[in-house]
């Protein structure tokens, strides 16, 4: 129960609703409070706020900012006027109040981990419906999933920049001080939320970070404030950014400085014309890198992989991208005993199964886009420890024939914990309807599944109805990505977008049927993203 002393301060700033003050923990209620808008108000009551109330207050600030961001008219205008361009949206400011800065700098716990503190942020379905705009006002559950996610990514990117600036700008002349308790400020691990311009999180103000660390005289009460973030080093400016990375880590190791910065995930594009010294890999080690996106563009990669294991034996995640080499094996992954995330997009035939199934840990995230997978490969994964631990499986752009479909069905039947499945452009429409039905049934029984995308597959209308009927029974599913089925009007087969004036009404009625089926027996809304092929694209 909230202490009585806080009520005295809350009486003048909380909106009068006639409800019990014990309802103040609801996000919608807190986000309407004046306390969220005024730094002086929150400073006034902060000494009296119970520890357990900090998190709902923080979430309410973020929630309010998010609502204001997605409801800004300029967002919608710029979005449509610029042909659905997200570049413009990146330039729109988010009005984040200083009360968020105050909450962070006075955080009562030792760790502040942003990814664990984000409140439930509903996707802006009403603001960003389908690009087929005539459907938007009639059925708001139709929306572009990618649009919703991009809005969320942009917001999170701006939020991270604000939070890191809040810490780095906390100088001796600032009225704020760090809390006695805060030890770790973690804004890493937001890869799924950020845009491809990931370096903006860390390096857009890298020199400022170095200067603040060097000149910092803030009172951290005798302990280090450790900031964990992500970084990107591009081959085009590797020298400059490599030096910035070295400088930041070097300054962070100074025992007389109260702030240290470590880059948990590093997106590294290796230059084929540069030979990397052991000192370079030592920088990755000192930076406590846990997740590495490694783009190899050299003919011989053995030295790189050997050095990675030597300096980063506790690597948790690795993403391997190859563009000019023919990799024969991923057996070197077995050396990493802590791997949980593996992504490898390869165009050549490669026996992945042995390499993956021999890993010490069960993987949580596995991306094998564009890999050549046979039935036995999929069955081996199904019988491995990974089937019990995987949270996300991405098999985009793999070719599934009848034999491989059997293996994929077996794999889906054994996925006990999976929350995200992506089978986009997997040529599932070439399979007999019976095999498709068995696969969808296996997916339906994944009782923790929240996100499913099978875009890029032009099923018949009959098969699409079957998919809708089956997936409607999965109560955990929240987001579904589909390609609109092939339809026939007046004897002519049409795709999602045509110039036929009769099509919008037909599509609208068909979508109403689909959405009614999906949500008839559900307690929570299921959001659908419909994709399409180019106008007039032949079957």
SS3 track for 459-487 = CCHHHHHHHHHHHCCCCCCCEEEEECCCE
Backbone φ and ψ of 269, nearest 5°: -105, 110
pLDDT per residue over 371-426, tens digit each? 888 898 899 999 999 999 999 999 988 888 999 999 999 999 999 899 999 998 88
Model confidence at 444: pLDDT above 80: yes
- Quickly list DSSP for 208-269: HHHHHHHH-----TTS-EEEEEEEEE-GGGHHHHHHHHHHHHHHHT-TT-SEEEEEEEEEEE
Contact 318, 338 (CB under 8 A): no
Question: Computed from CA positions of residues 376, 382, 386, 390, in that sequence, does the dihedral angle turn out positive or negative?
Answer: positive
Q: Which residues pair with 292 in a beta bridge?
A: 266, 318
The residues, any chain, with a CB within 8 Å of residue 523's CB and separated by 6 or more, are 475
Q: Report the range of poorest mean pLDDT among 7-11, 381-385, 432-436, 487-491.
A: 7-11
The CA-atom distances, in angstroms, between 47 and each of 5, 9, 164 are: 10, 11, 24
* Closest by CA position to 224, among listed 187, 252, 189: 252
| Exposure class string for 31-70: b at 16+ Cβ within 10 A, else e | bbbebbbebebbeebbebbeeebbbbbbbbbbbbbbbebb
The H or E element spanning position 280 is helix 278-286
Strand 492-494 vs strand 487-489: parallel, antiparallel, or unpaired?
A: antiparallel
Q: Which residues pair with 321 in a beta bridge?
A: 295, 345
- What average pLDDT does this structure show over 243-253? 71
User: Which has the higher per-residue pLDDT, 184 or 1?
Assistant: 184
Residue 528: what pLDDT? 77
Q: If you average pLDDT over every residue of the chain, what do you get? A: 70
Contact 127, 70 (CB under 8 A): yes
Residue 196: pLDDT band by 50, 70, 90 thresholds?
Answer: very low
* Closest by CA position to 161, among listed 103, 202, 218: 202
DSSP 535: T
Q: Report the range of poorest mean pLDDT among 165-169, 190-194, 223-227, 454-458.
A: 190-194
Global pTM?
A: 0.73
Contact 473, 448 (CB under 8 A): no
- What average pLDDT does this structure show over 188-193? 57
Alpha helix locations (H) across 48-124?
A: 54-70, 73-81, 86-90, 98-105, 114-117
pLDDT per residue over 448-463, tens digit each? 998 899 988 888 888 9
The CA-atom distances, in angstroms, between 302 and each of 243, 298, 330, 465 are: 25, 10, 11, 50
The residues, any chain, with a CB within 8 Å of residue 504's CB and separated by 6 or more, are 132, 134, 135
Residue 217 CB coordination number (10 Å): 9
Chain center to CA of 172: 35
């Amino acid at each position: 129960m909230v202490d009585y002393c806080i009520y005295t301060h809350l009486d003048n700033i909380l909106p009068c609703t006639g409800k019990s003050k014990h309802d103040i923990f609801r996000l919608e209620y807190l986000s309407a409070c004046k306390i969220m808008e005024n730094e002086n108000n929150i400073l006034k009551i902060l000494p009296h706020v119970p520890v357990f109330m900090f998190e709902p207050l923080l979430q309410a600030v973020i929630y309010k900012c998010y609502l204001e961001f997605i409801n800004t008219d300029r967002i919608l205008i710029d979005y449509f006027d610029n042909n659905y361009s997200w570049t413009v949206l990146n330039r729109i400011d988010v009005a984040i109040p200083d009360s968020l800065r105050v909450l962070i700098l006075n955080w009562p716990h030792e760790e502040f981990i942003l990814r664990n503190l984000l409140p439930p942020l509903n996707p802006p379905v009403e603001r960003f419906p389908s690009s087929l705009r005539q459907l938007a006002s009639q059925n708001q559950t139709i929306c572009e999933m990618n649009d919703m996610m991009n809005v969320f990514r942009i917001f999170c990117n701006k939020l991270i920049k604000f939070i890191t600036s809040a810490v780095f700008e906390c100088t001796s002349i600032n009225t704020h001080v760090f809390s006695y308790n805060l030890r770790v400020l973690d804004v890493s691990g937001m890869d799924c939320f950020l845009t491809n311009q990931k370096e903006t999180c860390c390096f857009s103000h890298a020199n400022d970070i170095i200067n603040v660390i060097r000149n910092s005289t803030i009172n951290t009460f005798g302990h280090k404030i450790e900031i964990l973030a992500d970084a990107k080093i591009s081959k085009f400016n590797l020298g400059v950014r490599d030096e910035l990375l070295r400088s930041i880590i070097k300054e962070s190791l100074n025992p007389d400085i109260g702030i240290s910065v470590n880059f948990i995930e590093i997106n590294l594009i290796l230059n084929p014309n540069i030979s990397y010294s052991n000192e370079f890999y030592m920088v990755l080690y000192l930076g406590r890198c846990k997740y590495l996106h490694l783009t190899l563009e050299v003919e011989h990669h053995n030295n790189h992989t050997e050095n990675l294991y030597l300096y980063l034996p506790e690597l948790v995640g690795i993403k391997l991208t190859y563009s000019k080499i023919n990799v024969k094996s991923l057996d070197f992954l077995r050396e990493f005993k802590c791997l949980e995330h593996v992504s490898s997009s390869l165009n050549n035939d490669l026996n992945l199964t042995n390499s993956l199934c021999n890993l010490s840990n069960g993987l949580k995230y596995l991306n094998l886009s564009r890999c050549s997978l046979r039935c036995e490969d999929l069955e081996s994964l199904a019988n491995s420890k990974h089937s019990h631990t995987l949270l996300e499986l991405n098999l985009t752009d793999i070719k599934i024939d009848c034999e491989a479909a059997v293996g994929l069905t077996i794999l889906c039947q054994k996925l006990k914990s999976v929350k995200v499945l992506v089978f986009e452009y997997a040529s599932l429409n070439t399979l007999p309807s019976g095999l498709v039905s068995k696969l969808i049934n296996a997916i339906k029984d994944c009782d923790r599944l929240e996100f499913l995308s099978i875009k890029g597959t032009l099923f018949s209308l009959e098969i699409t109805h079957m998919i809708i009927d089956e997936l409607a029974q999965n109560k955990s599913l929240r987001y579904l990505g589909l390609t609109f089925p092939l339809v026939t009007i007046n004897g002519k087969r049409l795709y999602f977008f045509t110039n036929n004036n009769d099509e919008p009404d037909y599509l609208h009625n068909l979508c109403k049927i689909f959405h009614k089926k999906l949500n008839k027996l559900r307690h929570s809304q299921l959001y659908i993203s419909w994709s399409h092929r180019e106008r007039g694209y032949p079957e």
